């Protein structure tokens, strides 16, 4: 695999299993995987605490046939950092129909396509991550999306690299008077160890109860070397209801033997008078094997983003099964 996201598969079981069609006319496979992360956290303004920052279980089903695959995903998780009334959440309940000739169709709730193809390249830490319960992001894009229908084209292979387009229609609002409140379109490009993606998403003014549509552009570039992976992501919004304009993020990840070393930076600019915020994060993870790892992570926030996201030092363990 020559694509830049290859390094996310360097340590097995960090991603959900990928299924492939068999030689039979049809076949069904099922798989269950999980993850538990526990840490001791020293956070600015708070006492030392030991807690479960994330535990999740995922069930995958795959139906394969001569024409393609149908993949279902169901993920539930628990976190001590979640709202007291909603510590258990259903994050994914989706279906993907993958045809061999006409591309793929996605429907349901789950990891956002923008996150999966763009933002994950700068989401390189354990605790200070994009997860909604421990969110450290300045970006406006979230990790998960609800009520999404998307079309994913087949890859077009050329002498200059591979191209793919994706179009999605999230429907988070049902009383705005519009049929389509959110429209998103994305172009993906891969060439050897280099990636480039650009995405445009537009939310209607009626859905947001404001004078103009909210338009957000995002682009990411990344490259993989033998032991180093680098990614830069830029997000720019116009008529954002919360006053955001531009956000950028940079992530560097080094993989050597059983070690993963990562640093990342985020910075924002705003159209109002609120002070711009910055985040810097560094982490070191040691993988004993594909199931068990230990990490040390530190983050500096120019100011707290929310109750869970402030300058902190975290020592934790992660179990994958």
Q: What is the CA radius of gyration of the chain?
A: 20
Q: Which residues pair with 235 in a beta bridge?
A: 218, 247
* Per-residue model confidence (pLDDT) at position 3: 54
Q: Could you give the 3-state DSSP secondary structure of residue 212? A: coil
Q: CB–CB of 139/132 below 8 Å?
A: no
Question: Does the model's pTM come out above 0.85?
Answer: yes
Query: For 106-126, what is each residue's pLDDT tens digit?
Result: 999 999 999 999 999 999 999
Cα–Cα distance, 313 to 298 (Å, whole number): 4
Q: CB–CB of 220/121 below 8 Å?
A: yes
What is the rounded average pLDDT for all residues in the chain?
90
Query: For 35-77, what is each residue's pLDDT tens digit?
Result: 999 999 999 989 999 999 999 999 999 999 999 999 999 999 9
Q: Could you give the 3-state DSSP secondary structure of residue 238? A: strand
* Per-residue model confidence (pLDDT) at position 229: 97
Query: For 222-251, what is each residue's pLDDT tens digit?
Result: 999 999 999 999 999 998 888 778 999 999
Cα–Cα distance, 142 to 275 (Å, whole number): 22
* Per-residue model confidence (pLDDT) at position 138: 93
Q: In the chain, what is the straight-line distance between the N-terminal and C-terminal CA atoms, in Å?
A: 24
- Residue 45 token pair: 């303004």
Does 17 score more than 60 pLDDT? no
- The tally of CA atoms less than 13 A away on the side-chain side of residue 308 is 18
Query: For 178-225, what is each residue's pLDDT tens digit?
Result: 778 899 999 999 999 999 999 999 999 888 889 999 999 999 999 999
What percent of the chain has pLDDT above 90?
Answer: 76
pLDDT band at 276 (very low <50, low <70, confident <90, very high): confident
């Amino acid at each position: 695999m020559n694509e830049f996201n290859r390094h996310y598969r360097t340590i097995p079981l960090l991603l959900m299993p990928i299924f492939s069609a068999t030689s039979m006319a049809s076949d069904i496979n099922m798989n269950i995987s999980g993850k538990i992360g526990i840490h001791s956290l020293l956070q600015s303004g708070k006492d030392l605490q030991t807690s479960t920052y994330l535990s999740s279980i995922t069930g995958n089903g795959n139906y394969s046939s001569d024409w393609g695959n149908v993949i279902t995903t169901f993920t539930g998780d628990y976190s001590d950092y979640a709202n007291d009334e909603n510590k258990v959440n259903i994050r994914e309940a989706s279906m993907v129909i993958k045809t061999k000739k006409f591309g793929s169709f996605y429907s349901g709730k789950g990891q956002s396509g923008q996150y999966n193809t763009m933002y994950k390249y700068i989401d390189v830490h354990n605790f200070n991550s994009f997860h909604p319960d421990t969110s450290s992001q300045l970006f406006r894009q979230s990790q998960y999306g609800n009520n999404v229908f998307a079309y994913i084209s087949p890859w077009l292979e050329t002498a200059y690299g591979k191209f793919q387009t994706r179009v999605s229609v999230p429907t988070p609002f049902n009383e705005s008077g519009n049929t389509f409140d959110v429209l998103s379109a994305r172009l993906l490009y891969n060439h050897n160890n280099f990636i480039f993606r650009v995405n445009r998403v537009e939310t209607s003014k009626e859905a947001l109860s404001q004078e103009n549509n909210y338009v957000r552009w995002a682009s990411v570039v990344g490259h993989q070397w033998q032991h180093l992976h680098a990614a830069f992501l830029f997000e720019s919004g116009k008529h954002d209801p919360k006053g955001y304009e531009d956000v950028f993020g940079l992530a560097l990840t080094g993989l050597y033997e059983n070690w993963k070393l990562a640093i990342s930076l985020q910075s924002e600019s705003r159209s109002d008078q609120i002070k711009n915020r910055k985040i810097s994060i560094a982490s070191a993870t040691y993988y004993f094997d594909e199931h068990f790892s230990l990490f040390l992570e530190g983050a500096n926030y120019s100011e707290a983003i929310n109750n869970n996201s402030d300058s902190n030092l975290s020592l934790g363990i992660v179990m994958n099964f």
